[in-house]
Amino acid sequence: MRKIKFPWILLSASILLSCQGNMMSMEFPNYGRKLESHPLKGLPYRPNIVWLVAEDLSPILPAYGDSTVQTPSLDMLAAEGVRYTNAFSPSGVCAPSRLALATGMYPSGLGGHNMRVQYVKSHMDQLGMVLYEVVPPPEVKMMSQVLRENGYYCTNNDKTDYQFQHPVTAWDESSLQAHWRDKPAGMPFFAVFNFGVTHEGHVTSPYRKQLMRYLDPDFPVSSQNKADFGEMILPEEWDLNIPPDSEVPVPPYLPVTEKSLQDVRRVYSNIVELDRQVGVILRQLEEDGLMDSTVVFFYSDHGGPLPRQKRLIYDSGIKVPLIIRYPGQAGAGAYDDQLISFIDFAPTAFSIAGIRIPAHVQGQAFLGKSKSGKPRKYIHAAADRFDAQVDMIRAVRDKQYKYLRNFHPDKPYYLPVKYREQMGIMQELLRLHEQDSLNGYQAQWFRDEKPGEELFDTWNDPHELQNLAEDPGYFKKLVELREECDHWMSRIHDMGNIPEKEILEMFWPEGIQPETEPPEFSVQGGRVVLKTATRGASIGYQIWHKDQRIVNTWLVYQEPIPIQPDATILAIAHRLGFKPSETIKFGFK
């Protein structure tokens, strides 16, 4: 693999200090200088925004105090940016978390808390699950569409997984080739790049070839029409990026066997690969002269891929790295410990872009012109169905304490998920559990039942192993977080207690997906007016001229379209969760 070099400043002393040790054994990494002033003062008008999104990754990076592997690209990003040390996803899996990112709303309030409702139909059939789409309230739009409506060029490369099919109005392009380099001149952009190499599935099996697309010298052009992208790279090419006998940290709830260590080594090896690919996008921003007009976010879609991490709402499942580099390197090398939830990302993007935050959005901006005057006091999370395994857990966390409410205390913590059981480390847990050879911390996950409430001091017990809910000394904190859990669930109209069959009936009566009414055309004052009878539907349109090359981009209809002679207008309507309408043509001769 080739290495990416940057003509950037050397790693700051504060980050170097934070790397003298290993995150798994450090309760309080030395993050150096705390951010003291707002980093967006003097921000360019309507800056570009880039999201670099990893999968299944806890903050086990040098920038966060874990020196197991070297990540030069992310280290440089942190040296020139700000590390956020209390960022959280609302779920321990991707689809609900990405629903929150796409809408700025809590998944359990939208009925999108189960993992997952959309996938390959054959897989869902095998699990005995019904494939459907979440239907948000009519006022809800994808945040990228809101940015498009306000003059941004928006691209997504390439993962979606929003719990509904995204409409044609969501992106200028969503594909393996999507990139800001295709935008019209002078137009600000919002570009998302997803990196799949750290996903849980790649703890056990090689990467698909398409996941390596970023390393091609001609990316993104080289990603076009690749017939072999669905294939895996050869096993002999799937080398570890670290020595096969490397010492790696293992959290106390996992066993230390050679088979387990190999999986942990693979996790860190995948981080090295991720860093290479992130470096490609950072280099392209630099080559295009965009670093001083772009706000760059790096984060992951939820916590780590290992057992008792992914799918759960301990910090290991929901705490994520978040590094933001600002134009002019504002706040370079500092850290910020404010609480941030994924539902805050959409309103923060609007705030950075100078766009009014829609009233239905449940998050708050932590940056920009509309930055909330009151820092977040709590973050909230939920865990529900995973594949065919059903549970319901809710979490509330302040900066130090974490409250969990188990709605099915009669169910064990561990629920068998076949996908997870492909991992060697999971097989080791099951083997040692059957032999009664796990220690007390490792055996906790296999208890036959769980308490109704749990309370953890995350500063002194970062792995959340000592339940303080019965300790009288913590009663006041227990009541505070318990009441906040009640208020939050009531405030968002949490749907976790509604059987999924009833949710499906609400979304798709009698199991039939509602269909968006097609656009209707009328002409008023030399302009074409489009409308649809479906409340909450967006309309996308294209204008075709004779012999024009067909394009995939659909414009977002916002105002009447001037009539163009010899042009054909194509239009399609789509409400989130509904079936898109048929495409309507209207022409002038």
99 C-beta neighbours (distance < 10 Å), count: 29
The more confident residue out of 551 and 266 is: 266
Domain 45-103+137-374 matches domain 520-587 at the CATH topology level: no
Whether 104 has a pLDDT exceeding 80, the answer reads yes
Q: Which of 19, 94, 154, 485 is catalytic?
A: 94
- pLDDT: which is higher, 417 or 403: 403
Q: What is the mean pLDDT of residues 364-393?
A: 94
Name the one residue in this structure whose structure tokens are 């940057």: 6
Non-local (6+) Cβ contacts of 428 within 8 A are 255, 257, 259, 260
Residue 94 bears catalytic tag:
yes
Region 378-403 average pLDDT: 96
Strand, helix or coil for residue 369: coil
Q: Specify whether the CB–CB gap between 157 and 193 falls below 8 A.
A: yes
Share of the chain above pLDDT 90, in %: 85
- Mean pLDDT, rounded, for 122-140: 83
pLDDT at 589 over 60: no
Q: Is the pLDDT of residue 124 over 70?
A: no
* Per-domain boundaries in the chain: 45-103+137-374, 383-511, 520-587
Confidence of residue 549 (pLDDT cuts 50, 70, 90): low
Q: What is the pLDDT of residue 58?
A: 98
Q: Which residue has the higher pLDDT, 39 or 372?
A: 372
Q: pLDDT tens digits for 438-474?
A: 999 999 999 999 999 999 999 999 999 999 999 999 9
For residue 220, give both structure tokens: 């993104």
Q: Give DSSP secondary structure letters for 260-274.
A: HHHHHHHHHHHHHHH
Q: Which CATH number applies to 45-103+137-374?
A: 3.40.720.10
Distance between CA atoms of residues 11 and 78, nearest Å: 8
According to the model, what pLDDT value does residue 127 have?
A: 62
Q: 235 pLDDT band (50/70/90 cuts)?
A: confident
Of 3.90.1010.10, 2.60.40.10, 2.20.25.90, 3.30.70.1450, the CATH number of 520-587 is: 2.60.40.10
Asked if the model's pLDDT at residue 3 lies above 90, the reply is no
- Which positions ≥6 away from 461 have C-beta within 8 Å? none
Answer whether residue 74 shows pLDDT above 70.
yes
Q: Kindly report the length of the chain.
A: 589
Q: Is the pLDDT confidence value at 42 over 50?
A: yes
pLDDT, mean of residues 389-397:
96
Answer whether residue 406 shows pLDDT above 50: yes
Task: Please give the pLDDT value at position 551.
Answer: 72
* Cβ atoms within 10 Å, residue 583: 16
More confident residue, 27 or 64: 64
Among 172-181, 196-205, 563-572, whose mean pLDDT is lowest? 563-572
DSSP secondary structure letter of residue 208 = B
pLDDT of 2 > 80? The answer is: no
* pLDDT at residue 116 in the model: 79
- pLDDT at residue 524 above 80? yes
Q: What is the pLDDT of residue 17?
A: 32
Residue 24 — pLDDT band, cuts 50, 70, 90? very low
Reported confidence tier of residue 8, pLDDT bands at 50, 70, 90: very low
pLDDT at 544 over 70: yes
Is the pLDDT confidence value at 23 over 80? Answer: no
What is the DSSP track for 46-106? S-EEEEEEESS--S-SGGGT--SS--HHHHHHHHHSEEEEEEE-SSSSHHHHHHHHHHSS-
- Calculate what percentage of the chain has a pLDDT beyond 70: 93
For the cut 50, the answer to whether the pLDDT of residue 15 exceeds it is no
Report DSSP letters for 520-532, one per residue. EEEEETTEEEEE-
Helices and strands in the chain: count of H runs, count of E runs: 13, 20
Is the pLDDT higher at 45 or at 152?
Answer: 152
User: Of the given ranges (26-40, 340-354, 488-502), which has the lowest mean pLDDT?
Assistant: 26-40
Q: What average pLDDT is seen over the chain?
A: 92
Q: Kindly indicate the confidence band of residue 545, based on its pLDDT and cuts at 50, 70 and 90.
A: confident
Q: What is the mean pLDDT of residues 79-107?
A: 98
| Range 134-149 average pLDDT | 98
pTM assigned to the model: 0.94
The answer, yes or no, to whether residue 253 has pLDDT greater than 60, is yes
Quickly tell me which residue has 């992914």 as its tokens.
Answer: 310
Looking at residues 143-164, what average pLDDT do you find?
Answer: 97
- What pLDDT is stored for residue 550 in this prediction? 65
pLDDT for position 201: 96
Per-residue confidence (pLDDT) for residue 125, from 0 to 100: 66
